[in-house]
Each structure stands twice: as C-alpha cells, then as structure tokens.
Structure 1
C-alpha cells in the first residue's frame, strides 16, 4: 500500500539535508577537478569551469538569484508559432505541388525564394492557395519590386492575414556586395512600405540577419547588425513620410536558430530587448516580429541524417525563445532541392514540438532562469556595443565597406580554428564519422536559405563542416582507400581508448585504419605493419606501456619503412614524429597524412 506524503512531510525530509551554499559547492567541485590533475583552490573553481563565447561573454558553471538582471522581461509570442516553410524549386509545377503538400501537412505560411523560382512564376506557384488564410513571404533579391508588384496585384481586393514583401536592401548588399545600389533600393523599399499599408498585417521590410550568421559571425554580431539595419530602415521610412509607428510596423526580423539551444534562446530574447530600446528612443511601440530559420551553416553533407537532430534542437530553441515564425530546413537542404520525405520530416518537427511536447504552451519558459536571464543580458550588452560601433562608423550601409566584413572574418577564423581542433565538434563529420555511409544525391538547386543570392563581392557563405567534408571527398576519390596502421601495444584494455580515438580522427578525413592486434614485440608489430602496405603508423597504448615500449616499436616501424610515426597521446619518444591528442589540429593531421600517403589535394 502506497501512503501519500503531505507537502509538510516532504519539507521535513528536505530539512534533514545540510544547507547548500556556494562555498560548499566550490569545495566539492574542486575535489573532483583535483582528481584530473587540476592544481587550483576552491576559490578558482568557477573561473576554471567557465567558458567564453565568440562574443567574449562568460558562461559561468553556477548561477544564483544575484545573476538576475534588472532589465524588464519582454515576452515574445504566446501560443503556437507560425510554421513557415521555404520553397526554392525553379520548376513552378513542383513548387506548387510542394506548397499544397505543406499546407495540408500543417504549414501555416509560405516563404518563396523568388531569386530561384522567378518573380514571373508567382501567380502559377500560388495557384490554388487560399491567400486570405495563409500569409506569403517573398524573397526576391534584386527583383523585389517586380515580385511585390505581382503579389499586390494577386491580392488586390482581398483581406490577407499578413506576410512580407521581402524588401531588404542592406541584406542584399551584404550578400552580393552591391553597396552602391543601397540608396535606390531604400527608396524602393519605402515606396513598397507605403503601398503595403493598404493591407493590414502585410509588412514590406525584412531585416535579414542570416548573411552575418552564414558568414561565420557570432550571435552578438548577428544581433548588432540586425539592429543597425533596422535603425537604417526606420530612418529611410520616416524620411519618406511614414510615421514612427507605421515604420516600426513594416519591419520583420529574421535570425538563425542553431543547435546551441541556450544561445539561440538568449539571442531571440536579447533581440526583443534591444529592439524595444530602439523603439523607446524613437517613441513608438517596441514589439519585434521575429522569424527564426534553422541554421544553414550548421548543416552537414556527410551523415545528413544528423541534421534532423540539429534542426529539432534549433526549432525547440526558437520556440522557447519566442520566435513568431519558425522555418525548419529539411535535413537534405545542403545537398540540393529537398525531397518529399525530408520536407515532411521538417513539417513534423514543428508538429511534434507544438502538439506532443507542448513547447508552445508557456510564454517565455526560459524567463526567470538565472542562467538564461544572465546569458540574455550579457548577450544583449555585447550586441548593443557592436551596434553602437556600427553607428559610429556611419551606420550599417557604411559599415559593410570594411568594419563588418573584418569583424566577421576574425570570428570566422576563430571558429575555424575551434572546428579544426574539434573544440567545436561536428557529429558525423569531425566526431563519430561513418566512413561507410552511402552519399545521398538531390536535384541541384537553392536548397539552403539565402545561398542562391550570394555574390562574388558579398560576404562569404560557409558551412562549418566544409573543410572536413572536402578531405573526405578526396579520400573517397582514391582508387585505394588511404590507410594508417595502428600499432596497438599491449592488451586490449591498455590500447582500446587511444586506438578508438585515433581511428575516429583519421576517419574524419576518410582514412581507414588497420591494427596490429595486441602485442608488445617490436618485430611482430613491424611485420604486421609491412603487411598493411601503408607508410604511416600510429602508436596506441597507455602512458605506462609507452614508457616501456614506444621507442623500440617506433624504431622498428621506421626500419620497416614507416615514413611517419604518430603517437596517440602526449609525450616524446625516439622514433615518434608527432602526436595525436584531444585538442590537436585534426585537419592538419589529416592533410599531413594525405601528404605522407601521396594523396593529392
């Protein structure tokens, strides 16, 4: 028989435990760290366990009520978010069929990449769509005016529920490098804003921050660029005769949502806080309308199934962060045009999170979390400093000349270094690669959001996995698979961990490994090496067995013809040329190995 406990009884049970204090936590954490060789004191624990983002924001390991910022909470969307799916198939019939399937499958708004589809095809692709029920967002790049004109003719006399004409002169310049066209396109955007006023809820301007994210930028850099762009559009619209309130009502902001769920949540919450400050200064309503898109940069061609997990986490974070509309990119979008299956999975990601997980039932579920509130405040502060720097440089249009590209380039380089050293792991690519996977193929096209309109003079468009994937492609193209010999010294228990580590590192570049089997005799290991038919070897064992056997085995391998001998772990031994270890430059290891194997790259 189960006897229910009253709340008072539970409180009494808890009272038997000692009072938790920050000082006691530090002492316990220090004890754990010292077991791994750390030499600091309990006072140094929090600093030792803190991490720093690309924006210089310190993320502490422990938070309490003192971390709550004084800034007011600004709650975003309440209820379910708008499920917005992107379409970029240049075949109007295929796009029309995909739109119908999406709408039947739960999509609530349509995002059209008319740079790929063509503005003239707009009536065809929207044939059969109930435009008084489903909002349409246009993305036409240089052909924005033409696409907007066509769309406005389609909806003339109708009461449409919302949508956006997609004018974004500064975002287009960021992608294409056409900065000289910004003034004319700002005037064009202002004219579209005036015309969209005849359709309540329809907006004319998109403040697209994806170009800065896709160029490898940080979260605060993405935020600061978006706020500076929004301010530039407010100036242009009010100078054209719109009131501040009307101008604010014409803007919608687009941000990237990544698999780093906490930074995504904080970024969207910080964006609302930043824009509310701008609105307060200009004297208008401060609600920011947000469209979150799962990151193109985080997607991988290799093991693309992992993209389903990435986009699920990103969609969850966008929902928790309060985005008004969310686009989940299909898992195969980086391969070309998504197929029907991947589009269905993308739609069902929303359905699962909204209907089954209940993510949308609570407004601002991260609100009040000491960690989330601190991260939001610190990210907002970093973004505001960057926004102010852009303003001092003459505004966003002027900053695109050098300030923004240079800042993004620095962050991109830091990110690339972390990826190369696997401090920023890429599952299925730099970590746990499946060398036997069968590549997927898709019809060529603008599969990833925004990539179709990137120009030679604009910001670069990257994917984090590209360098590892390029090496995998080189390995796959060889007539004989590049191979490294693993000299596994001693019993299985002694060498398994480092042999597995080394095999995974080489596999990230498509390099196969063969092992000697458990042995300590240098002659036997050298014989197995000769049978493997490769000039590169790697010693794998424990530190204790390295001290006893590494030099002898490495010397035997060199005498057997080894061009290079690696050692998994740290330590210098006669005959060992270089080391593999957690945090080493994996890309450099793979490239060096290709060179040693005679693989052209």
Structure 2
C-alpha cells in the first residue's frame, strides 16, 4: 500500500517567521510583555516551544536519570497506589473506615497519628494537646493492632505519619504483626516539623538517633519499609516555589543521609529507605515537570554519594495541596484537587493522596472522602491513565520546563549546602526569607486578581450556604481513649541505654509487646540530651484566607446591622453601554461581601443621583464607556455629590489623562480598574465603613 505524506505542499515556518507575524498582530505592544509569562520559579515561559528548546535527549523510562519514571513499565507494570487519610480519632473508627475504603478501591493505607501521639505522649497524659486532633490516637500496641485488624498488611503499602513517635509506633506495628514483611514507609521528618512548628520537643541529635534506630532496623529486617521521610508540604503551604520546595527537600534528605552514614550505615542501605512527600499544586505543567525534575536531581545526588542504580530511584508520594483550597464555594476544591491529581499521575508519582474538598472547613465526612478516593479511581479506571508510559515525555514544553526546574533546584540545593546545610539555613532564616519573598509575590497576584481563585477572589457566590460542621466529640473521645489506655498499658521494665540502631529498635519491639506505651518508649529514647531545636517557623497559610477574612467580616456586619456594606453602580445609558464595566465592578466588590446595587441603567444624571440617595450606599461607581465619559462624568459626579455630599464617587476604568483633572473638579474621588489592588481597596472601604 502506498504511504502518502500529507500536507507536503505546506512549508514548515521557522520560529522567526512565526514571531514576526505575532508581533504584527500585537500592533506595537511589547512581545516579551504580552507573550511570555514569568513563574514563581523565575522561569520565563515562552508562547511556543520547538525541538531546539530541549537541551538533551531524555532517557528511557526506568533508565538513566529516571526523569521518565523509575520503572520501565510505568503504571502498566504497577499503577500508582491510591492512599487516602481516614480522619478517624479512635482505632476502632479507623479500622471500620480503612476496611470500607480498601473494599471500595483504595490500594494503600495511610495512618496519620494525632498530635499527642506524634509528640510521644499517651492519650491520658497531662498535656495541652488534644486527643484525636489531626489524626488517630494510639498509645499501646493494641491500638495499632485494632486499627489494622483485618487488613492484609503484607499486601498493601502502609504509610505511617507518627512524627517523633515513629520508632515507638513502628515497634508496635512490627510487634502486632510479627513475621509480616511490610512495604510503604514511616514518614519521620523532624527537620520539616521544625520548619513548620518552629521547634522540636528534643534536640536534632536526639531526633537523628531515633531515625537511626528505625532506619538501621528496617534496612536489616524490613527493607521495603521506608524509615526516613522528607515532607515538603510545609514549604509549599507557605507559598514556596517548586524550586524552593524541592531544594529544601533535597537538602533535608542529604542531611539525614549524612547522619545515617556517620552512624555506620551504607548509602545503598539508606537511600532506598527515603520516602518523599511532595505537594501537588494548581499550576498543571509546573507540577508535572516538578515531579519529573525531582527524580533526575535525586538520581544525581545519590550518584554523588556513590549509590547504585536502585538507590538512585526516588520514591515519591504526593498530596494535593491545602494552599489553594477555600472555605467559600468549597465544592470548587473538588475541581482543583482533580487537576492536581491529574498532574501527579502525568508526572509519575508512586503513591498519591487526594484531599477531601471540605478538609479546610471541617473534619471530612464520608461523602467528601468517597469523592476524593473516586477521583483517583476514575483517573485509573475510566481515563485509562495507566495505559501510557510517561505521556508527557517528548513534549518540547514539558521537557524544557523539566530541565529548567531541575537546574534551578540543583542551584538552590547547592546554595543551602553552602549555607551549612538545611538546619543551619533554617536557623539563620535563609529559607524562611526566600519562601516569604516568593509568597509575597504570589499574594500580589492574588490581591490584584491576576491569579484567580474561583469563588473567593473572583466569581463570589454570596447566596451560598456554609458547610455544616458536626459537633465536636473531643471530650467523649478523650474520655474513651483515657479509659482504654489506662486498662491496656503495662508498667514494663526495659532499658535502652547503651543501645542504638537495630538493637534499640529490637528492645522497643520487645517492650511494646509486653504493654509498654508510646510515652514510656519515647521517654527512654530521649536520653541524649542537648538543647531543643528552635527556628523561626514558616508562615503556613492558605493563599486567599485574607480575602475570606474580609468576607466573614461583611457577613458578621450584616448579621449585626441587618444590612451588608453597600456599593452603588451609577450605570449610565443602555445595557450595552454600561454592562461590561458594571459586571467587572460587581465582581470586584462581591468578593468582599458587598451588597452591590446594580440598577438597569439611567438616562440622565438626576435619576442616577436620586437612586443613589435612596440606596443607603456611601460609595458610588460611575459605569459606562471611555467614549461617553468626557460628557457624562462631570455632570454625573456633580449630581451624585450633590445628592450625598459625604459620599465617595469613583469611576469604573482608568480616566483619560486629559480629562482627569476636570473629573476630579466635578467630584470624582478615584477610579477602579483591572490595575487596582482588589484586596487593599476592599480592606480600605470596609475599614471606612466600620466593618473591620
């Protein structure tokens, strides 16, 4: 059969030819300003990419620097693990939820312990930390056994987040399921906890000794079960760029590797035990490229340590970020999490957690947890994303962006190393300052609405009903846990002094099997002394929570006074004349909770002034077109001011320079346009009205 080449008559234009045509269409506007975009990573995105933009040929999947994945078969060989949090305070509650989830498509167990347990305290100890806060309470081995009762623990990954109590919880897991071989990992990351909280309940050296006990034991007895966690979420949730997130994460991992090597382990024992927990944000292509770049940088780092090919494989678990999630219009969070999960799959993570849409409002319910889990199942089963290996591979844009992120990540990692390593960089405030500067840049974009967060800084839904929050069961849970622990805990005589590494871990397993509690084990572990670690903590926040604060203040003002703060639109002329700007102004103020008075349109200044006087609003915005403003604004502004002398009269749009003086003379106090800072304007107006 003859093979015909289609479109041979069409010549392929060069980039220079395309750019020339594009510049002609821009009619004098700067090409770089209109057609390129600078990311928080300092990368300038081009409008079009060619083969020449790919600096080197990427390796094959499962080979080289693993940029295209650590397995040659991709997800066809092994689909990513669906790992979801259970949001359960009690072991029995966790067990019921995890069994149900595993029967409905989840393929991995994610065990997140509460704050009290992570601090190494029993549920009935005297502490300000609340039982069941942000996780499951576990104080004795029986709690772990109950939580995982009926789970085939040797057939699914078990990912445990137990903070400083990780060795004690590991001992309970191994004691409860003696003889089982585990996969997954303990995400023990004291440095990230230090960055997030500003302090640790122990010295860094003590934390590293705890890590060594778990790592040395796992290397010898549970080689598929990670023991060293690198959690980059605190950085991303503080507004860090992808480069800063990865750079800080790699510096943390290197800090741990050196500490384990100093304690006698080998690189090919340590590296396979490292588990990364990366964030998945809303910038789709950046997140894809971040994951691909991370694998190549990690391969290079472990190669510098002399690690073998298997050790150079990066194990990545990813979680959709809290940074861009919102309290208002919360169902949009489902859509955000879906695109984030999609980027994680295309990037090639080994395990993923999709956060429920309501986690920033309340403890997620069964519905939101089911939707989050099914998001991943749909991607696997209905979108068939396991059928293509590295689908982004070969894209000129993605390959170029991956290379740039990798280069900048290596440079930032090297900069941290030059500062003395991750702990020294945190102590000096270097990393906090870097992340803060990036976060400030992001905030400006949100404040001016150049970055849109649907439902919060744009497209507000003022008639939405807030999600209902269930009554707190704190007292009930605390009482039940205290009674359970006091009945199960045993006073076990054991000694960890002089023991380290696997030997110490074996002693812990023996102790917890006899009934020793988390607190008893952790107290025995903390004998190394030293000053408790302290640094300036990261500013962890959500991107637009400051907009949410304005909206809440307006709602409280309405509840107290019976009326929301108002703004009046002096819509001049027919709909076609005023609609575009009136719609913009309405959207501008509704995100601050304003009641926008939006009339059908006025034929003259007097009728507009009369309606303004009757509206009860202090602020009025004249809405029409640039062509009509020279004639309209002076007469309308005077009429509005005459009707309400203490009012503020604004113009929708930027006034022409040649007319601005006459507008001000007539009574115009200012203008609002796409160049206005939305947040600062709303804050100022609400302050003047006594709302905040």
TM-score for the superposition, normalised by structure 1:
0.92
Q: Deviations over 1:321-345 (max 9, x none)?
A: 0111011001111112111111111
2:630 matched to which residue of 1?
Answer: 547
**Does the 8 A contact of 1:88 with 1:112 survive in 2?**
no
2:13 matched to which residue of 1?
Answer: 20
Higher RCO (Cα < 8 Å, 6 or more apart): 2
After TM superposition, give the deviation of residue 444 of structure 1 in Å. Answer: 7.8
Superposition map of 1:367-446 within 5 A: 367-401=393-427, 402-443=429-470
1:328 matched to which residue of 2?
Answer: 354
**Does the 8 A contact of 2:317 with 2:351 survive in 1?**
yes
**Does the 8 A contact of 2:91 with 2:138 survive in 1?**
no
1:564 matched to which residue of 2?
Answer: 648
Q: Distance in 2 between matches of 1:420 and 1:191?
A: 48
Q: Secondary structure at the match of 2:622?
A: strand
2:184 matched to which residue of 1?
Answer: 163
**Does the 8 A contact of 1:119 with 1:150 survive in 2?**
no
Please say which of residues 270-279 and 114-123 is displaced more in the overlay: 114-123
229, 244, 248: which is aligned to 2:271?
A: 248
**Does the 8 A contact of 1:489 with 1:545 survive in 2?**
no
Superposition map of 1:120-519 within 5 A: 120=139, 121-160=143-182, 162-178=183-199, 181-197=203-219, 198-284=221-307, 285-401=311-427, 402-443=429-470, 458-478=537-557, 479-519=562-602
Q: Distance in 2 between matches of 1:188 and 1:444?
A: 38
Q: Distance in 2 between matches of 1:436 and 1:182?
A: 50
Q: Distance in 1 between matches of 2:83 and 2:293?
A: 22
1:597 matched to which residue of 2?
Answer: 689
After TM superposition, give the deviation of residue 108 of structure 1 in Å. Answer: 0.9
After TM superposition, give the deviation of residue 28 of structure 1 in Å. Answer: 2.6
**Does the 8 A contact of 2:356 with 2:371 survive in 1?**
yes
After TM superposition, give the deviation of residue 456 of structure 1 in Å. Answer: 10
Q: Deviations over 1:239-298 (max 9, x none)?
A: 121111011011011110112110000100010011011011111131000011001111
**Does the 8 A contact of 1:88 with 1:114 survive in 2?**
no
Q: Which protein has the larger Cα radius of gyration, Structure 1 or Structure 2?
A: 2
Q: Secondary structure at the match of 1:267?
A: helix
1:84 matched to which residue of 2?
Answer: 83
Q: Distance in 1 between matches of 2:400 and 2:208?
A: 37
After TM superposition, give the deviation of residue 439 of structure 1 in Å. Answer: 0.6
After TM superposition, give the deviation of residue 553 of structure 1 in Å. Answer: 0.8
1:451 matched to which residue of 2?
Answer: none
Q: Cα RMSD (Å) of the superposition? A: 1.9
**Does the 8 A contact of 1:335 with 1:444 survive in 2?**
no
Q: Deviations over 1:59-91 (max 9, x none)?
A: 111110111122643221511211111133323
Please list every run of 5 or more consecutive structure 1 residues that lacks an aligned counterpart in the other structure: 447-454
After TM superposition, give the deviation of residue 388 of structure 1 in Å. Answer: 0.7
1:119 matched to which residue of 2?
Answer: 138
Q: Deviations over 1:170-201 (max 9, x none)?
A: 11111222266222101110110111121231
Q: Secondary structure at the match of 2:203?
A: helix
Q: Distance in 1 between matches of 2:595 and 2:26?
A: 36
| Structure 1 residues 456 and 170, CA gap change in structure 2 (3 angstroms) | closer
Q: Secondary structure at the match of 2:573?
A: coil
**Does the 8 A contact of 1:275 with 1:286 survive in 2?**
yes
After TM superposition, give the deviation of residue 481 of structure 1 in Å. Answer: 1.3
| Structure 1 residues 263 and 97, CA gap change in structure 2 (3 angstroms) | same
Please say which of residues 62-71 and 280-289 is displaced more in the overlay: 62-71
**Does the 8 A contact of 2:87 with 2:364 survive in 1?**
no
Q: Distance in 2 between matches of 1:181 and 1:211?
A: 20
Q: Distance in 1 between matches of 2:102 and 2:536?
A: 37
1:452 matched to which residue of 2?
Answer: none
After TM superposition, give the deviation of residue 463 of structure 1 in Å. Answer: 0.5
Q: Distance in 2 between matches of 1:172 and 1:596?
A: 41
Q: Secondary structure at the match of 1:335?
A: coil
Q: Secondary structure at the match of 1:19?
A: coil
Q: Secondary structure at the match of 2:410?
A: helix
| Structure 1 residues 499 and 7, CA gap change in structure 2 (3 angstroms) | farther
**Does the 8 A contact of 2:199 with 2:535 survive in 1?**
no
| Structure 1 residues 128 and 583, CA gap change in structure 2 (3 angstroms) | farther
Q: Distance in 1 between matches of 2:636 and 2:254?
A: 66
Please say which of residues 393-402 and 578-587 is displaced more in the overlay: 578-587
**Does the 8 A contact of 2:90 with 2:137 survive in 1?**
no
Please say which of residues 217-226 and 113-122 is displaced more in the overlay: 113-122
31, 37, 49: which is aligned to 2:24?
A: 31
Q: Distance in 2 between matches of 1:339 and 1:90?
A: 13
| Structure 1 residues 517 and 199, CA gap change in structure 2 (3 angstroms) | same
Q: Deviations over 1:405-441 (max 9, x none)?
A: 1111111111111111111110111111111110103
